Structure 1
């Protein structure tokens, strides 16, 4: 049995023993001069010491009366079951508590909150939602209402009920919690993408502007607005929106490069593209931007200029993708034998690049080829970014 679980159980046993002792002292004043603890307490403690936690907890629960002094201990035992992955047993304890007429309103609210957590762990979302909706609507305890709202928002996210989640979160949770504020902006983006698919561009733009008002750092909102401008042929407006993204978060610079290049090409403005790329690599020489700028130099001035530029940039910020592109440049001027050697090296760099993830969640470390606006592992919004560095983008 894990040491942490043993400690938790032991503490529970001590707490129960203290309450039982208190109860026994009350009886002693009325009936008997000899103090005594419940026999069940010692039976349970024996199970605990013999590393039989399930039987120990069952014995403690059976021994402990439900009253105003022991309600918190019962709740703690139910939560212990849930933390061990036995939410069904936690449900039984918490439902048993709710059936007691002696609970105060605040105690009843607390038990309902924990019972909703049990249902969420079991995947019983409808039952959890009903409990949480009741708590949000009826409780007078601000702490319980706040906790219920956060749980309800998490549940509605699971069900992809973006508008319902917004209705619960705004304005209190959005104003108070940064993670909720960031998530709310992405819920609006989700709704906007739904509007875009259903040919409602005006409503989509309205939602995206709302997303930026909720969270001015929401890269995704500007990204989607830029895409809408591209689809309608407004390339100058698209470029303006794309250039806002590095101002919001420089780590997202790599995602704007291809649409930025395409927009400038649609305007036949190669000089504008070159100026923009120079601006982007000034603070941080992102490999993708460096390679794209080298390609413009190659078209205008030839291989030698591109080779000199990429070599200079690799000395500042080495990267595997930069080396791979440099080998492409060398291959153009190589003889047959040198070209074969370069091809062999490129096969190795290509294998390494294919095996390397392109994006990583800054919260949990999940990495993959695609950019996920919501991390598939930790379910956080906006925490996945392009990987930079030697093996990065």
Structure 2
């Protein structure tokens, strides 16, 4: 890190030296030949001395003092400000950028560029209101250049952090065609709004926002789940099941997440046979552990333990998993109890002890982007802050 820092400062020093040399060259036109040997300002050599002695902080401060602001070296000042911010010294970066804004030498484009960097400084410092004012000022004009697009991204990110979902949508939706990757976050913001409306008993508005979320992102499992739960609360189990079928089709990784809602829907309609058939079709589509276990439970209740053991064993031969094995051991223990054994086979109990210990230590959900793991499903990753990237873990130790 220090080598990179010294390289950046060295480049800044070269730029300063060039600027000082250029200024002196212009002065030579009005001086005699002897004055052409005039040396650069003392601060330049002091800064180089700090740099050679591996004192980058002192070198940076000295170069800033030596480098006067003009239209040709604004980028150098901005680069130094960025350097301070990346090192966690956003207060120093803000002072550099505020000093730039106070100079009349900036062109309108440079002025907006410095405002954008100053907004980043304020965000890093946690001064969000001042950052918002700067960013809103940049995006006021209809022109869509790189700086305004960057300002919109920063403002949307800031509003998202503050959970101002509707304000973020108002800025993003008009330019969503140019930013298709933002469709997934926008869909989740609509889900956030819908959940607030459900809490306020505005169910019709919530349903409208959830359907709009699916228009933006057809794979938004969260929207399907919320729609299904709304239908169940209204006593409509068939529409709820239809939403869950769509979820399984568009977001199969979240089939485990929908199973409790699916069971509620079928129990509401008293369609136990259809529920078992639905589980069987899900197993064929995605032989996940939680689906296998729920199907096994239905078979046990309807056809007995031995049939559940047979079918569960066959399914686990196709898709082995630790959770499935743990459930199968439970079935064997129950079978022995039904046969009249007062104490199950000790070998089964030992296996049960080991599988349970392993299951208690497993990772249940993981972010597909950064690898963050958690026990409960989070719709926004707390680590990388991406939406919809956390899914149930699959494989032998997972689903």
The 1-side partners of 2:144 and 2:320 are apart by 57
Give, in angstroms, the shift of residue 389 of structure 1.
0.7
> For residue 162 of structure 1, what is the aligned residue in structure 2?
165
Deviations 1:357-386 (A, max 9, x none): 211111111111111111111111111111
> For residue 295 of structure 1, what is the aligned residue in structure 2?
297
1:141/1:22 CA distance change after superposition, 3 Å: farther
> For residue 17 of structure 1, what is the aligned residue in structure 2?
17
Residue from 340, 345, 356 that aligns with 2:362: 356
> For residue 379 of structure 1, what is the aligned residue in structure 2?
385
The 1-side partners of 2:52 and 2:311 are apart by 71
The 1-side partners of 2:184 and 2:344 are apart by 52
The 2-side partners of 1:209 and 1:366 are apart by 29
Give, in angstroms, the shift of residue 177 of structure 1.
2.3
> For residue 254 of structure 2, what is the aligned residue in structure 1?
252
> For residue 189 of structure 1, what is the aligned residue in structure 2?
191
Name whichever of 150-159 and 134-143 sits farther off. Answer: 134-143
The 4+ residue runs of structure 1 with deviation greater than 6 A are none
> For residue 179 of structure 2, what is the aligned residue in structure 1?
177
3-state SS of 2:285 partner = coil
3-state SS of 1:363 partner = coil
Residue from 383, 390, 397 that aligns with 1:391: 397
Deviations 1:33-55 (A, max 9, x none): 33744332222122122121110
The 1-side partners of 2:397 and 2:315 are apart by 15
* 8 A Cα contact 1:362 1:384, kept in partner: yes
Residue from 147, 156, 161 that aligns with 2:150: 147
3-state SS of 1:28 partner = helix
Per the normalisation by structure 1, the TM-score is 0.95
Give, in angstroms, the shift of residue 337 of structure 1.
5.2
Name whichever of 350-359 and 315-324 sits farther off. Answer: 350-359
Deviations 1:114-159 (A, max 9, x none): 0000000000001001111111114856221111111110111111
The 1-side partners of 2:320 and 2:16 are apart by 62
Name whichever of 314-323 and 160-169 sits farther off. Answer: 314-323
Name whichever of 272-281 and 332-341 sits farther off. Answer: 332-341
* 8 A Cα contact 1:28 1:35, kept in partner: no
Deviations 1:290-317 (A, max 9, x none): 1111122222222222112222222222
The 1-side partners of 2:375 and 2:146 are apart by 41
> For residue 81 of structure 1, what is the aligned residue in structure 2?
84
> For residue 222 of structure 2, what is the aligned residue in structure 1?
220
1:313 aligns with 2:318: no
1:12/1:234 CA distance change after superposition, 3 Å: same
The 1-side partners of 2:206 and 2:361 are apart by 37
The aligned length equals: 392
Deviations 1:248-298 (A, max 9, x none): 111111111121122112222222112211221223211111111112222
* 8 A Cα contact 1:319 1:392, kept in partner: yes
The 1-side partners of 2:288 and 2:101 are apart by 59
> For residue 6 of structure 2, what is the aligned residue in structure 1?
6
Give, in angstroms, the shift of residue 26 of structure 1.
2.5
1:54/1:94 CA distance change after superposition, 3 Å: same
The 1-side partners of 2:217 and 2:335 are apart by 50
Deviations 1:8-44 (A, max 9, x none): 2222222333333333333334433337443322221
Deviations 1:179-222 (A, max 9, x none): 42111111111111111000111111111111112222222111
For structure 2, list consecutive stretches of 5 or more residues without a partner in the other structure.
none
For structure 1, list consecutive stretches of 5 or more residues without a partner in the other structure.
none
Provide the alpha-carbon RMSD of the alignment.
Answer: 1.7
Name whichever of 306-315 and 283-292 sits farther off. Answer: 306-315
1:28 aligns with 2:28: yes
The 1-side partners of 2:310 and 2:38 are apart by 91
Give, in angstroms, the shift of residue 336 of structure 1.
4.7
